[in-house]
Structure 1
Amino acid sequence: MKAFSCRVCGNALYFENSLCVSCGTALGYSRNEHEIVPVDEDGRYVDRQGLVWHVCANLNLSGCTWLATVEGGQCFSCDLTRTRPADDDLEGLSQYPVAESAKRRLVVELDARGLPITTRDEDPEQGLCFDMLSSVEENVVIGHADGVITIDLAEGDDAHRVKVQSELDEPYRTMLGHLRHEVGHYFESVLVRGDERMNTCRELFGDESKDYQAEIDRHYSEGPPEDWQESYISTYATMHPFEDFAETFAHWMHISDTVETARAYGLTTVDPSAFTLFSDLVTGVWIPLSTALNQINRAMGSDDLYPFVIPPPVLDKLDFVAALARDPHPVPA
């Protein structure tokens, strides 16, 4: 995430700001410009080409600060949401802004990496969309299938999320983490095509044709292999090659965004694009940076920011994912 500032007064802004706390200017996020821009009293912004943009209709519903092409319409990020809580589901609606905020950050990250987002309108069968479901009255399973990412809005409640994290003995669990993991499944289905990519993917992550349900049952009955730390980023990654890829994709996004944010705020001066191999960025920048950030968190009495150890085989997996992002145009299978 880049560092933003108010175009009117120069005050530092957070990505979520809809108002500059210094000068009071109303704001909106322009996806086209990748900038937070001032809007007028009618919620309008006129860009350099003379196009008129409007504050998203969901500003008061989900806290969306993005700009839409049509007055009273939704922005690109909100359009990706296929299902949201009903108007009478007060608990689900109270949790909804957390998920939408994380999704907006996810879209910015995907845009920054040049990863293509094909919408459901463009591809009704495989296009990307999100079902933001409330588990108040039904069981919701977080997952991905044919471009549809399902999110349990209860994960936006800190107490619930920490409870589940403790029950599953996970070192890390966040809404943004869920989205990065699930979109990893989507991009594996979109980008890993053609014999060369498929073969390399199988060499690194394993045979994806393994029975998925059988592997899930095995994982939860037997647990991870004793030596899992030597080849995997997490115990969840040991469940199935699909999950190993998605976990690796999520960590590629964790690392990329955190390093770039650290650079934007002066914590490091290294340009991530200067590294040919992502693994060199990990060993040369990320490991010392995350070690320092972990110690800062401990100084505040908090848990480690990045409670993971990256073994050499995972570095190879990260390089594969990063290479897909650099060339997101696969040869058809």
Structure 2
Amino acid sequence: MKAFSCRICDSPLFFENSTCVTCGAVLAYSCPEHDIVPLEEDGTYVDADDVRWYRCANLELSDCTWLTDVEGGQCFSCDLTRTRPNDADAKGLSQFGVAEAAKRRLVVELDARGLPIVGREEDPEGGLCFDLLSSVAENVVIGHDNGVITIDLAEGDDAHRAKVQAQLDEPYRTMLGHFRHEVGHYYEGVLVGDGPLRADYRALFGDESVDYQEQIDRHYAEGPPQDWAESYISTYATMHPFEDFAETFAHWMHISETIDSARAQALVTVDPDAFSLFADLVNGVWVPLSVALNQINRAMGRDDLYPFVIAPPVLDKLEFVAALTRPHAAASQPPASGANLAL
């Protein structure tokens, strides 16, 4: 995430800020400008082309700070949400904003890397959309199905998420992590598909045609192989090649976004684009940075920020994922109206 500052007083801002705490300016996020902009007294923003922009209709519902050029309309990120809790589900709605905040960050990250986001209106059969469901009255299974990503809003509750994390003996579990993992499934289909890259995929991750349900049953009955850490980033990645790819994609995003954020805050001075291989970036920048961040977390009495060890086979998998995204490195602009079009 880039470093933001207030255009009025130059004070530093967080991506989620709707008000500058220093000067009081009312703020919103502009997708075309990739920046946080100050609003006029009527709550609108006029860009350099004299286009008037309005706050997203979901400002009160989910704390959405994005702009749309349709008065009373939704922004691009909110348009990607297909299902949300009903108005009578107070608990689900209280958790909804956490999920939407993570999704907005995900959309910005994907856009910054030039990855295409095609909504359901443009591609009704395989376009990307999100079902953000409340598990208050029903069981919700987090997952991906042909472009539809389902998220359990209960994961926005820290106590619930920590409980599940302990039950599954996971070193890391966050709402943003869920989004990055599930969108990894989506991009496997988009970037790998059934073309020539599938053979390279299988050489690294295995044969994805093996029965998925059987592999799930095996995983939960027997657990991961004893030597799993020699070839996988997590125990969950051992379940099936689909999950191994999605976990690797998520870690590619974890690493890339954290390095970029560290550079934006002047904690890292090297330009990530100077590395032709992602593996070199991991070894040269990420490993020392993550060790330092883990030490800082421990100094605050917190768990490690990045509690993972990257074995050589995992590094090869990360390189494969990074290489998939390189043709999309030149990011295109998001749609001005927030319509479901490719970013």
Q: Normalising by structure 1, what TM-score?
A: 0.98
**Residue matched to 1:73:** 73
Superposed, 1:240-259 pairs within 5 Å as 240-259=240-259
- State the one-letter code of the partner of 1:117: I
Partner of residue 22, structure 1: 22
Count of aligned residue pairs for this structure pair: 329
Are 2:146 and 2:186, in contact at CA under 8 Å, matched by a contact in 1?
A: yes
CA distance in 1, matches of 2:91, 2:229: 39
Aligned positions of 1:47-86 closer than 5 A:
47-86=47-86
Q: Which residue of 1 aligns with 2:334?
A: none
| 1:233-312 equivalences in 2 (<5 Å) | 233-312=233-312
Query: 1 CA distance for matches of 2:254 and 2:195?
Result: 29
**Partner Cα distance (2:205, 2:6) in 1:** 45
Distance 2:195 2:106 in 1: 29
Report the residue type matching 1:184 in the other structure: G
In 1: Cα distance, 2:148 partner to 2:186 partner: 8
Secondary structure in 2 aligned to 1:119?
coil
Q: Greater CA deviation, 296-305 or 193-202?
A: 193-202
**2:40 is matched by which residue type in structure 1?**
D
Q: Match of 2:36, SS?
A: strand
Aligned twin of 1:132: 132
Letter of the 1:124 counterpart: P
In structure 2, the residue matched to 1:45 is 45
**Distance across 2 between alignment mates of 1:191 and 1:41:** 44
1:204 alignment partner in structure 2: 204
Give the ranges of 4+ consecutive aligned residues of structure 1 lying more than 6 Å apart after TM superposition.
Answer: none
Q: In the alignment, residue 33 of structure 2 is paired with which amino acid?
A: E
Matched residue, 2:12 = 12
Q: Determine the structure 1 residue equivalent to 2:103.
A: 103
- Aligned equivalents of 2:41 and 2:188: distance in 1? 43
Q: What SS class does the counterpart of residue 54 from structure 1 fall into? A: strand
Asked if 2 retains the 8 angstrom alpha-carbon contact of 1:6 and 1:20, the reply is: yes
Q: Are the equivalent residues in 2 in contact too, given 1:133–1:153 (CA < 8 A)?
A: yes
**Structural RMSD (CA):** 0.9
SS in 2 for 1:154: helix
How far apart are the structure 2 equivalents of 1:245 and 1:327?
19
Letter in 2 for 1:160: H
**Deviation readout 1:43-79 (Å, 9 max, x if unpaired):** 2111112211111111111010000121111100000
* SS of corresponding position for 1:204: helix
Query: Secondary structure of 1:149's partner?
Result: strand
Letter in 2 for 1:307: P
Q: Match of 1:327, SS?
A: helix
Find the aligned partners of 1:51 and 1:284 in 2 and give their Cα distance. 44
Contact 1:207 1:241 in 2 (8 A): yes
Residue type at the aligned position of 1:175: M
Contact residue 54 and residue 72 of structure 1 kept, 8 A: yes
- Distance in 2 of aligned mates of 1:199 and 1:48: 48
2:74 partner SS? coil
Secondary structure in 1 aligned to 2:286? helix
State the 1:195 CA deviation: 3.5
Q: Distance in 2 between matches of 1:204 and 1:239?
A: 14
Counterpart of 2:315? 315
Residues 185 and 246, structure 2, Cα contact 8 Å, conserved in 1:
yes
Q: What's the CA shift for 1:196?
A: 2.2
Give the deviation of 1:91 after TM superposition: 0.2
Unaligned runs of 5+ in 1: none
Tell me whether 5-14 or 188-197 shows the greater mean CA deviation: 188-197
Asked if the contact 1:191/1:328 (under 8 Å) is kept, the reply is no
Distance across 2 between alignment mates of 1:47 and 1:199:
47
